[in-house]
Amino acid sequence: MRRLSGILLGLSLFVLPSFLPGDAGEPARLFAQEPFTFDGEVAMWSMAIKPDKISDFMEVLDRVKQALEKSDNPNASRQLAGWRVVRGARMPDGNIIFTHLIDPVIPGADYAMLTILYEGFPDEQRALYDLYAGAFGAALGSNVGDVVADFSD
């Protein structure tokens, strides 16, 4: 019984704020992301996307691009120039791996996709969150580092 009450308390702390009245900025408070920055020259991060939600995720990526294209942030155009996303293999659970390749990393630039979306489309925060969250399967990991050998030269 003690465990059940702990679970119910935890769920209420997560779910209850979504039912509280608020202003137009409520989704930003509820679904805000911490800054997602990298220390290094190159970064990669992978995520699993649900196979039946690939088109939703592609829409999210397109909206991230649109938001960066119209952004007043001086880092935005540099982020666009070095950000690629690769569709990879199907995992045993059916999810598809998508890997973000950032080369070069822009020092101090925020790569949090929800933050970029919220800044670019402030009136669509809830819808964009739902689209992204509905497609997201799992975070698979990231790697950041400096180039130690460049064979392109």
The CA-based angle 121-122-125, given to 5 degrees, is 85
Beta-carbon count within 10 A of 91 CB: 15
142 pLDDT tier (thresholds 50, 70, 90) = very high
Is 73 inside a domain boundary? yes
What rounded mean pLDDT belongs to the chain? 85
Is 20 inside a domain boundary? Answer: no
In a domain, 60, yes or no: yes
Domain for residue 79, yes or no?
A: yes
In a domain, 46, yes or no: yes
Report d(CA 143, CA 55) in Å as an integer: 26
Residue 2 inside a domain? The answer is: no
Structure tokens at 59: 């829409």
Does 19 fall in a domain? no
pLDDT at position 153 is 79
Tokens coding 112: 């949090």
- pLDDT single digits (tens) 81-92: 999 999 999 999
> Is 99's pLDDT higher than 80?
yes
Q: Which domain holds residue 115?
A: 26-145
- pTM of this structure: 0.79
DSSP alpha helices (H): ranges in the chain? 2-15, 26-31, 54-70, 76-81, 113-120, 125-135
Averaged pLDDT, 129-134: 96
Token pair 């199907």 is at which residue? 90
Domain total in the chain: 1
Contacts of 124 (CB under 8 A, 6+ apart): 117
Residue 44 lies in a domain: yes
**Percent of the chain's residues with pLDDT above 90:** 76
pLDDT of residue 39: 93
CATH of the domain at 88: 3.30.70
pLDDT tens for 27-68 read: 445 566 789 999 999 999 999 999 999 999 999 999 999 999
